[in-house]
Structure 1
């Protein structure tokens, strides 16, 4: 591969979201392979975007439903095109195939969006049956089985679109083993179309000079407010969990610590939840997530729905900060190893676990060590950058055969690309 084109759904913001960090890892991998990398996006330039030019990447603003993209990619002639989430494949996949048929088409899923959406719908359905506002905010995390999730997802427009995009691409990068199993066993996606690739950069996880138990104070939660699972978790904290956590300290005749809530793009409805008297502090965007994380004693991540790998919990492990989360929060985050804190879906149990972790130095130190063990023995057990490099090389060498074996992908490209092409051309003509 000599030329790589990344079509971004948004401009990457590694300090705002795990998705931004993931994208930066991928483009840095291509740079390490001495590829010329171009990052193109139709999204508006964002406030916290990373300056890709400073690391040698060409930036290009492109337009939706516009034939100018055809001229651009024809001139560029990339060897590989990476679609950032299935939305960009839907928009630009037919143009890529039409203008550069031999280019590898890779989908970076970030996470299985349809899974997150299905869980969100199940949570909303459960909340509808709540008799009061208090009861609505007290609904526990979604606990549906894989079979129940498939039943919810199989008729979903989003799931059909997302899985179809996976079939249309030569390879889809996945960050969650749970999601890979769901795709293979319930959606019948062939294993050769999926590639498990959680994190590419292996940070040093030993001999870290971090603040110890006594030097840390307060609880922390962090996450981009535009990401709906994060906003929901803040609301659950505000209306049920944080009052229960504070009550644990008051019952023990201890001054309650504060909860510091960080995240990019807090809307007014979030900042209005700020209450210094309750120790519920909306801090907003953190320029360095790991810096604020390593000064906190315990991370709270009460996710009631979601998918993929949770960046806040990865940051917590790297920062030596034990965490209390839910089963969904810890999903695909430990490979069956003991958790680096506590996993609780019940509100009262969540509060007790938070109190114990915050007040017991021995327990805290044990869970800190467990976080580093998870990083070493689960996330960094392999060199996934080397694995991905080898898979892409094999795919490039056998592209005709691999595409030939993917008849469903051929069929979906034929029907989807024709309909998308004609719709895009109609929109372009209408806009002239």
Structure 2
């Protein structure tokens, strides 16, 4: 007698709506999207990636991974037909702007799809810090920001809460079934000060596989040379950091190490950045790095003098992978190491950053200790396998209990009812206007 075979379950179909087409070698945000994609592919899930953005020159080859690519339009009913036919099981909105634009359409045509919001950082936090830095500098680029770096969470809340950006971003978090946050510090900010239920948030930081899966970097102190800083020039915190480094921090380092060089790498180097190149001062603008790990692994110390920002820092992750100690600010170190030692040094002012950089560059024992700290931190906090397993388990549980989860999220239902109606009518008005133009 033949044994009845169990019915084979269809793989879950994930639609990712990208703010941009991912460029993992240009930004940590795109790198995180690709890490999520890796998690889904490991489960055998089917993935469609859709975006209204123009393709960049460093776009990832999604098709080579078996991912279907679809170009979509903003404020256009063609998306309705697309989503109605696709009928994904899970929809990931890359940044809250995509949830604002497409969330109501997904809910209308795929009401049972699990809606996830991918937040590479809390944009309203980054914006609030940027404004605070502008106010404190007030035309004085060398102003002491020590007290700013010690800003309390209550002060951050006061600065953020009245902004349009925070109200829009946190409303999108409420409306989504689950928001994927890279920073556990930001999860605390949202739950404790903005009253976002913990059930609406999930911590999934930048992910790192075992070291055997990454290129081998020169490990010895004596095999390394020069300082390095790296980051997408289009990202405001990175550009500000380069300016602060060039004008204030680097001269202090050169005063102690007259022959020192810093190599500045970044995607999409604008003319204003290229103009900072000065070989006589040891300040070298190197443009885009084909392989960030290769150039990071050749350097002795990484500099990340970030005065504002949010999320967690891909450049510091890359430095740890390569065994390169980092000198940064409290903004750079935020959510990176928890109770473990930071793999380098953290300082609040230009002189402190310079002194720490010189010490790490010159002191082999301290340098080797920082390198070991980084290698211990990576698996403890950023391990790919552990975080992927927990994320997949959370997604499967939510799909199985979706209606109860949504019923418990009354604030989200209320916001969807009101905000999506206004967004829907605005989008339809724009589409009608464009047709008549």
TM-score of the alignment, normalized to the shorter chain, above 0.5 = yes
Q: Which residue of 2 aligns with 1:121?
A: 131
The reply to whether residue 69 of structure 1 matches residue 72 of structure 2 is no
Q: Which residue of 1 aligns with 2:159?
A: 152
Q: Which residue of 2 aligns with 1:234?
A: 242
Structure 2 unaligned blocks of 5 or more: 1-10
Aligned CA distance change for structure 1 residues 36 and 179 (closer, same or farther; 3 Å): same
CA–CA separation in structure 2 for the residues paired with 1:109 and 1:380: 19
Q: Which residue of 2 aligns with 1:380?
A: 383
SS at match of 1:15: coil
CA–CA separation in structure 2 for the residues paired with 1:14 and 1:262: 15
CA–CA separation in structure 1 for the residues paired with 2:54 and 2:154: 39
- TM-score normalised by the chain length of structure 1: 0.95
CA–CA separation in structure 1 for the residues paired with 2:340 and 2:227: 24
Q: Which residue of 2 aligns with 1:49?
A: 59
Instruction: Give the conservation status (yes or no) of the 8 Å contact 1:5–1:40.
Output: yes
Output aligned runs, 1:162-311, within 5 Å: 162-204=169-211, 209-211=216-218, 212-250=220-258, 256-311=259-314
Instruction: Give the conservation status (yes or no) of the 8 Å contact 1:138–1:236.
Output: no
The reply to whether residue 312 of structure 1 matches residue 319 of structure 2 is no
| Counterpart pick for 1:331 among 330, 334, 343 | 334
Deviation of 1:337 after TM superposition, in Å, equals 1.2
| Counterpart pick for 1:401 among 393, 401, 404 | 404
Aligned CA distance change for structure 1 residues 206 and 299 (closer, same or farther; 3 Å): same
Aligned CA distance change for structure 1 residues 207 and 23 (closer, same or farther; 3 Å): closer
Deviation of 1:138 after TM superposition, in Å, equals 4.0
SS at match of 1:5: strand
CA–CA separation in structure 1 for the residues paired with 2:215 and 2:111: 48
Runs of 4 or more above 6 Å deviation: 205-208
CA–CA separation in structure 2 for the residues paired with 1:358 and 1:123: 29
| Counterpart pick for 2:90 among 80, 99, 108 | 80
CA–CA separation in structure 2 for the residues paired with 1:33 and 1:404: 28
Aligned CA distance change for structure 1 residues 76 and 299 (closer, same or farther; 3 Å): same
Deviation of 1:139 after TM superposition, in Å, equals 4.5
Aligned CA distance change for structure 1 residues 37 and 209 (closer, same or farther; 3 Å): closer
Instruction: Give the conservation status (yes or no) of the 8 Å contact 1:22–1:199.
Output: yes
Deviation readout 1:48-70 (Å, 9 max, x if unpaired): 11110011000000000000000
| Counterpart pick for 1:107 among 112, 117, 122 | 117
Aligned CA distance change for structure 1 residues 337 and 308 (closer, same or farther; 3 Å): same
Deviation of 1:78 after TM superposition, in Å, equals 0.3
Structure 1 unaligned blocks of 5 or more: 251-255
Deviation of 1:204 after TM superposition, in Å, equals 1.9
Deviation readout 1:302-357 (Å, 9 max, x if unpaired): 00001111000000000000010001100000112121111001211111111111
The reply to whether residue 361 of structure 1 matches residue 369 of structure 2 is no
Instruction: Give the conservation status (yes or no) of the 8 Å contact 1:178–1:332.
Output: yes
CA–CA separation in structure 2 for the residues paired with 1:416 and 1:271: 44
Deviation of 1:374 after TM superposition, in Å, equals 1.1
Instruction: Give the conservation status (yes or no) of the 8 Å contact 1:248–1:355.
Output: yes
Instruction: Give the conservation status (yes or no) of the 8 Å contact 1:140–1:347.
Output: no
CA–CA separation in structure 2 for the residues paired with 1:321 and 1:248: 21
Q: How many residues align?
A: 422
CA–CA separation in structure 2 for the residues paired with 1:297 and 1:170: 44
Q: Which residue of 2 aligns with 1:94?
A: 104
Q: Which residue of 2 aligns with 1:253?
A: none
Deviation readout 1:177-219 (Å, 9 max, x if unpaired): 1100000000000000000111344232799843111111000
The reply to whether residue 421 of structure 1 matches residue 424 of structure 2 is yes
Aligned CA distance change for structure 1 residues 371 and 200 (closer, same or farther; 3 Å): closer
Instruction: Give the conservation status (yes or no) of the 8 Å contact 1:205–1:372.
Output: no
| Counterpart pick for 1:12 among 10, 15, 22 | 22
- TM-score normalised by the chain length of structure 2: 0.94
CA–CA separation in structure 2 for the residues paired with 1:83 and 1:272: 37
